[in-house]
A = this chain, B = another copy of it.
Amino acid sequence: MYDKVEWKVTLNGLEGEANHMSHLGEFFAPRSVAIIGASKTPGKIGYSIITNVIKSGYTGHVYPINPKEPEIMGLPCYKSVLDIPDEVELAVIAVPASLVMAVADECGRKGIKGLVTITAGFKEVGGEGTQREHDLVELCHRYGMRMVGPNCLGIMDTHTPINLSFAAGFPNKGEIAFVSQSGALLASILDWSLENGLGFSKFVSLGNKADLTEADFIQDAAEDEYTKVILAYIEDVKGGARFCEVAGRVSRKKPVIILKSGTSQAGAQAASSHTGALAGSDLAYDTAFKQTGVMRARTMEELFSLAMAFATQPVPAGDRVAIVTNSGGPGIVATDAVEAAGLKMARFTKETLETLRANLPSEANIYDPVDLIGDATAERYKFALETVLGDENTDSVLVLLTPTGVLDTDRAAEVVVGARAQFPDKPILAAFMGGRNTEKAARYLQDNGVPTSTFPEPSIRAIQGLAAFARHREEPEAGAVTTFDDVDRDRVRQIFEAVRQDGRRVLLGSEASEVAAAYGIPVARSVLTTGPEAAVRAAQSLGLPVVMKVASPKILHKSDVGGVKVGLDTPVKVRRGFIDILDSVANYLPNIQPHGVEVQQMMPGGGTELIIGMSKDMQFGPLIMFGLGGIYVNLFKDVSFRLAGRLSRKEIEDMIGETKAQTLLRGYRGKKPADIGAVVDAVGRIAQLVRDFPEVTELDVNPLIVYEKGVQEVPLTALDVKITIS
């Protein structure tokens, strides 16, 4: 590649404005760039960078900075950016870590707008590296500079063009922006892409993400007219809220496809709440991606086959796939893949079927998958492709081909490329199943905008991605976050304060119930009592029968220690219950001093038991869980999650819809429907509570009993609320 590219640095500056200016224009289309640490010595990073920028065909000013050299690569070399007579927009820093602060300071004084800090030895080494990174970011902010890195491979833009990296190569021009948290992976993909016909608009190595993050580059790529699809490899997200805001907006405009690694559950530590236990470390990402419309690639192959499809194909109108093949077996394999992907086989119109029947051999199958049979020629493919592509019930097409003695494979590839041009609104992908006899044709297809695989399944996966984006783009926006005015923030604040005063982090049941009640969740009324007579009085005021539970934030499974009694319907039983509970607990847990016994209203049976819970993620904040509650929570794990920060009414409805609990709520097997609107409200109120009080670290409402509509006075009641604060 390099050998063919002429060195065409124009020292007179840019030949015209960069016409695809994105909001990080100073990085991708700078008028001038200083390479601090440029070197004449092959093998050095500073050598690679200066040669890369020159070879890339960049037409702006390039200023090598190296105190020891008068010129590098024929360009005058400066001791410092401060010595450059003209304005400089961007600087690439590739000096030892100990010198970075000094040169960055000079960049700031020079009025440079952006830094690409290649140098390693910052946060990734810990200790003083972390401090150095902190200082560097502070310095940047002081001067109003933005920074990529440190500890990165650099950045590239093929349309400017500019290569500000030390990678061994420059990608082909294309419409895929690729952002990677791993520099090595970026370099690998670059090398791979040069052999596989994949082109890129931008390559960004994020490095330590000390300043600019994935969100910034997703935002930038969204605005870049040369970018059709945004790809990222990340190991974490920096700034969950901003990421969600940007990704949620951008993903409706351009596909955002992310491979997030580190899905291992090893980090999901034991948690005391149900919600915490069910929310693995990777779940917050899955939830955030789903809620923001980010397409999550599960493998690297998937990441790039999706990218290729989006870069070359139009977005289909729907999910109906037509398959055209010259052999039955592969047609069945592809049909299986269509069903497995949740796509639909096309149902052709009567006209299409008649046309196919009239023109294909009688042994051919005219229904989808269309089987042109073993003696099919390229012309038969042409006829069939044009016919099914012309059908209004076809949204996209997969062309399957097995090499035969009678088929001119190269001509068949031309036919497919012809159809690509003739039907610009429908995706066409191909699987040419062979090696020796199909290689040239497959290469021709790839080079002419038809993604081609050896086997049918990856093509169908790509069509699935295209159809999913089409659907996502058309979906109504999630809408505003649900909020309620009738909440008593002050009361909650008081309760939390009292708990803290008491030296506790875990609320008593009665306290937690009051918090829920303050946010408008109907709760079974509960009184904390410290003696048998008080318990009887409480029971009489609540109304018999009652439930009694030991009050202690230290006992997680109260039933297991004889700490719960239900259905106590006389003062005698209540009095006896109080004593028995404390006796039993003292017996099981002699070292625990309960706060007393809670006497709770006993709610009528017959409802559906739900759970609403909250788990906290470092990056994305509170996640709300909804699902089937009671003792079967952990057995059936029938739960769904959403980020509390973005929880609209529509999203609450969606999350309920993802569970089997919804089937029960709608009235299952003879039961009447429950008031689902009241359940939606309850979820929204809990979300608001945890948004309003970030000190809530864990929360479970379980069970929340929901009754058949109209059967009880209130549509639902929380029987047990657990809250932990920080």
Contacts and interface: CB of A to CB of B under 8 A. Distances in A.
Interface in A238-289: 259, 261-266
A188 B434 contact: yes
A560 B671 CA distance: 11
A454 B192 contact: yes
B670 A436 contact: no
Copies in the complex: 2
A19 interface: no
A238 to B, nearest CB: 16
Interface in A351-409: 363, 374, 402-405
Contact of A328 (B182, B340, B402, B635): B182
Interface stretch (A56-64, A102-110, A331-339, A535-543): A331-339
B669 A185 contact: no
A631 B336 contact: no
Contact of A264 (B169, B339, B456, B458): B339
A404 B187 CA distance: 8
Contacts of A327: 182-185, 188
A235 B333 CA distance: 9
Interface string A190-230: 01111110000000000000000000000000000000000
A30 B562 CA distance: 80
A457 B458 CA distance: 14
A333 B300 CA distance: 8
A145 B363 CA distance: 31
Given A235-B329, A264-B336, A668 B635 contact: yes
A327 B635 CA distance: 40
A180 interface: yes
Contacts of A660: 635-636
A300 B235 contact: no
A438 interface: yes
A197 B182 CA distance: 32
A80 interface: no
A439 interface: yes
A259 B436 CA distance: 23
A99 interface: no
Contact of A635 (B363, B559, B663, B670): B663
Contacts of A437: 168, 191
A228 B324 CA distance: 36
A127 interface: no
A192 B330 CA distance: 14
B264 A335 contact: yes
Nearest to A182: B329
B195 A329 contact: no
Contacts of A670: 559-560
Given A559-B670, A631-B668, A332 B261 contact: yes
A422 interface: no
A455 interface: yes
A605 interface: no
A457 B301 contact: yes
A455 B191 CA distance: 13
A435 B403 contact: no
Contacts of A195: 435-436, 439
26 contacts: A125-B363, A168-B405, A168-B437, A181-B329, A182-B329, A184-B329, A184-B374, A185-B329, A185-B330, A185-B333, A185-B402, A188-B330, A188-B403, A191-B403, A194-B435, A261-B329, A299-B337, A299-B455, A300-B333, A300-B457, A301-B457, A559-B669, A559-B670, A560-B670, A635-B668, A636-B660
What 9 A-B pairs are tightest by C-beta distance, nearest first?
Answer: A182-B329, A184-B327, A195-B435, A191-B434, A188-B433, A300-B455, A192-B435, A185-B329, A299-B457
Given A180-B329, A191-B435, A264-B336, 7 more contacts: A187-B402, A189-B433, A261-B329, A263-B336, A299-B455, A300-B333, A560-B670
Interface of A: 43, 48, 125, 168-169, 180-185, 187-189, 191-196, 233, 235, 259, 261-266, 299-301, 326-330, 332-333, 335-337, 339-340, 363, 374, 402-405, 433-439, 454-458, 559-560, 631, 635-636, 638, 660, 663-664, 668-670
